[in-house]
């Protein structure tokens, strides 16, 4: 009888939450309760929901004779490519169709066609023991228990587009936006070895970059000053924090000190006088410095080999060799260093570094926490307790790791099911073929400004070729290929959105939730004076975190493997993933928060510069009117604007 009562009570609770043991299939999003019970039926009856998938404009409804023949503008790495054209062979085309079938992009479903995916014939060099493979397409439909499912994110709206079709139009390799982003990558490659502090009007290559980007006018979506790209906005992200202070975030430049005692209670470290050892043991973030005279994929044969994943003697045909890196490791100072960082980092390394810097510096935590100093005498305050696993540095550190996984999964959903955008190395190859006699019928339509024979764009490409020749790449002098920093070039998954960027947007958002993001970033010296920007204003934690996410995203661009929109859209997507994650995370606390009403909350400043309150059930803009107006005036490009009309 007791068992029967318990079962009945459970049924009532489930109905109250809108949850049934057998949830209906093909819903846009499973409810939280349905996801909690997903394991009960997953094996025999996998949950179905509408993943935001379908064919892209460049895939022309699946017809490989569409605007870009042979799927030339879609992600096709590791399939079989013709050595002369660089396009997919007949077998490669058939295998790309199998990929689409395996992903089941035409049918709303959580399932895959296992046989189709296994039947893809990836290029295999004779005698190959270990080969490159496609990276985790099946994670694109993974469920999650904390945060929102992949099906619920309308990535096009987060990126500022009214519809998915408008987003895909800009992501197409034939769009003016992509053309502008490709020119940006060419000039970034040209400036890889110039220190960020030398991005001045006296730098010839900087001026070359500015003329090239401004040649595109409004088609270039990066930040501008007075309607033009300037030395103050060059290669920067679209957040207010990106546009103030030095190019590099302070969180890439400040030292990580020893976490006395174990990072749990930094105030105890101060009581023990542990700070006297800071200079003895603190260390800077350093990277292996690549040899600037060694870049990859600059000859046509090498490019095709990279696309095929060709190997020789168990290695790529042009692998690393002695002399490709110098010693010792160095602090980041230029684009090549930044590209090196994002080639050797772990999933969320830069953000755990930021958490440690904040922890060692005993930066203030969120003011809504009862462990923080009370704003008024009557405010709720746990004066005899301190934060830790809840609302303290361990909370921030674990949140960074947990949300990074969810962000990566969401990025993979968008990569494989929404865009399947070809990497920059592919667009550069199409440009090379078109500029050296190939026609549109064979290689597809490109923005005419990529094909000009005179003007600043042609000069940029010529200078890139000269720079390649000066680096010892004499055989590359006649190509328009984009030099790659990495022997494998881009990873074997689609370009948009950037995984690094999506993870970055998510990680900095959860850090802002735990630490007060409005406090100044200070020098690690006695007195701890705040850092100031060029206008004499203090650099704030939240804004420098936004810049950190942008720096990491642009590091991938400096490497030659991503476009600007891959990064900017990815950061915005990651921010949303983190907010949905934090909403579920708030349900786990038992503390009373200093929040209006009865719900717990976080308050943080989003990438668009506006202040938000996050509760388990809502995301509310709480920016005061005056502050909101100041933010709008400060931002040169609104990252939430409708890009389809800009």
For residues 588 and 582, give the distance between their C-alpha atoms in angstroms, rounded to a whole number.
10
Average of pLDDT values for 253-261? Answer: 91
**What pLDDT is recorded for position 114?**
94
Average pLDDT, the chain: 88
* Least confident stretch, 27-31, 229-233, 445-449: 27-31
Tell the residue number behind the tokens 């800071």, with chain if given. 278
Those residues whose C-beta lies under 8 Å from the C-beta of residue 338, and which sit 6 or more positions away, are: 248, 332, 551, 554, 555, 558
Q: Using 50, 70 and 90 to split pLDDT, how confident is the model at 581?
A: very high
pLDDT single digits (tens) 398-419: 999 999 999 999 999 999 999 9
Is the predicted pLDDT of residue 639 greater than 50, yes or no?
no
Is the predicted pLDDT of residue 646 greater than 60, yes or no?
no
Do residues 342 and 274 touch, judged by C-beta distance below 8 A? no
Burial of 497 (0-12, 13-18, 19+ CB in 10 A): buried
Q: What is the pTM of this model?
A: 0.91
For residues 403 and 166, give the distance between their C-alpha atoms in angstroms, rounded to a whole number.
29
**What pLDDT is recorded for position 456?**
79
**What pLDDT is recorded for position 636?**
53
Do residues 100 and 58 touch, judged by C-beta distance below 8 A? no
Nearest to 553 by CA among 507, 503, 508, 500: 500
Nearest to 468 by CA among 456, 492, 484: 484
> How many C-beta atoms lie closer than 10 Å to residue 87's C-beta?
25
For residues 185 and 598, give the distance between their C-alpha atoms in angstroms, rounded to a whole number.
50
**What pLDDT is recorded for position 366?**
98
SS3 of 466-494: the string is HHHHHCCCHHHCCCCCCCECCCCCCCCCC
Those residues whose C-beta lies under 8 Å from the C-beta of residue 55, and which sit 6 or more positions away, are: 61, 62, 100, 105, 106
pLDDT single digits (tens) 283-334: 999 999 999 999 999 899 999 999 999 998 889 999 999 999 999 999 999 9
Is the predicted pLDDT of residue 22 greater than 60, yes or no?
no
Average of pLDDT values for 151-167? Answer: 91
């Amino acid at each position: 009888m007791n068992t029967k009562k318990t079962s009945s009570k459970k049924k009532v609770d489930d109905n109250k939450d809108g949850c049934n043991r057998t949830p209906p299939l093909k819903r846009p999003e499973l409810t939280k309760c349905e996801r909690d019970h997903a394991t009960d039926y997953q094996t025999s009856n996998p949950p179905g929901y509408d993943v935001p998938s379908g064919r892209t404009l460049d895939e022309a409804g699946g017809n490989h004779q569409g605007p870009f023949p042979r799927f030339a503008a879609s992600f096709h790495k590791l399939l079989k490519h013709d050595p002369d054209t660089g396009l997919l062979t007949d077998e490669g085309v058939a295998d790309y169709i199998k990929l689409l079938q395996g992903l089941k992009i035409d049918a709303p479903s959580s399932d895959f066609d296992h046989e189709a995916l296994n039947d893809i014939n990836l290029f295999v060099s004779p005698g190959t023991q270990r080969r490159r493979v496609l990276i985790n397409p099946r994670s694109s439909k993974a469920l999650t228990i904390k945060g929102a499912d992949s099906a619920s994110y309308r990535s096009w709206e987060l990126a500022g587009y009214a519809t998915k079709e408008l987003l895909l139009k800009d992501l197409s390799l034939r769009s003016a936006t992509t053309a502008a982003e490709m020119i940006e990558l060419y000039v970034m490659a040209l400036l890889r070895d110039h220190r960020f502090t030398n991005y001045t009007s006296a730098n010839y290559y900087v001026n070359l970059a500015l003329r090239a980007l401004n040649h595109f006018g409004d088609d270039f979506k990066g930040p501008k000053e007075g309607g033009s790209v300037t030395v103050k906005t060059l290669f920067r992200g679209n957040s207010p924090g990106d546009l103030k202070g030095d190019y590099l975030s302070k969180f890439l430049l400040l030292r990580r000190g020893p976490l006395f005692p174990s990072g749990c209670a930094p105030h105890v470290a101060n009581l023990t006088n542990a700070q006297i050892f800071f200079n003895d043991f603190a260390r800077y973030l350093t990277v292996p410095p690549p040899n600037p005279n060694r870049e990859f994929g600059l000859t046509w044969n090498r490019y095709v080999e990279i696309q095929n994943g060709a190997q020789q003697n168990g290695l790529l045909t042009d692998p690393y060799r002695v002399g490709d890196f110098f010693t010792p490791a160095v602090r980041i100072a230029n684009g090549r260093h930044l590209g090196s960082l994002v080639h050797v980092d772990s999933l969320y390394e830069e953000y755990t570094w930021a958490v440690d810097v904040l922890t060692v510096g005993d930066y203030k935590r969120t003011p809504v926490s009862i462990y923080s100093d009370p704003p008024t005498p009557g405010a709720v305050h746990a004066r005899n307790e301190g934060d830790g696993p809840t609302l303290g540095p361990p909370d921030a550190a674990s949140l960074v790791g947990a949300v990074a996984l969810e962000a990566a999964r969401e990025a993979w959903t968008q990569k494989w099911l929404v865009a399947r955008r070809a990497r920059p190395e592919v667009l550069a190859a199409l440009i090379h073929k078109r500029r050296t006699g190939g026609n549109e019928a064979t290689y597809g339509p490109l923005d005419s400004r990529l094909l000009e024979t005179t003007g600043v764009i042609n000069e940029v490409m010529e200078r890139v070729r000269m720079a390649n020749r000066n680096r010892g790449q004499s055989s590359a002098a006649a190509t328009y290929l984009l030099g790659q920093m990495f022997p494998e070039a881009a990873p074997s998954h689609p370009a948009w959105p950037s995984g690094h960027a999506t993870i970055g947007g998510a990680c900095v958002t959860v850090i802002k939730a735990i630490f007060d993001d409005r406090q100044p970033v200070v020098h690690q010296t006695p007195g701890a004076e705040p850092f100031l920007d060029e206008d004499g204003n203090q650099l704030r934690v939240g804004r420098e975190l936004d810049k950190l996410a942008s720096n990491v995203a642009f590091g991938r661009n400096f490497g030659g493997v991503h476009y600007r929109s891959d990064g900017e859209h990815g950061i915005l997507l990651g921010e949303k993933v983190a907010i949905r994650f934090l909403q579920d995370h708030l349900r786990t606390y038992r503390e009373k928060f200093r929040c209006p009403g009865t719900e717990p909350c976080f308050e943080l400043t989003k990438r668009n510069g506006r202040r938000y309150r996050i509760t388990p059930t809502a995301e509310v803009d709480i920016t005061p009117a005056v502050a909101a107006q100041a933010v709008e005036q400060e931002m040169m490009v609104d990252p939430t604007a409708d890009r389809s009309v800009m």
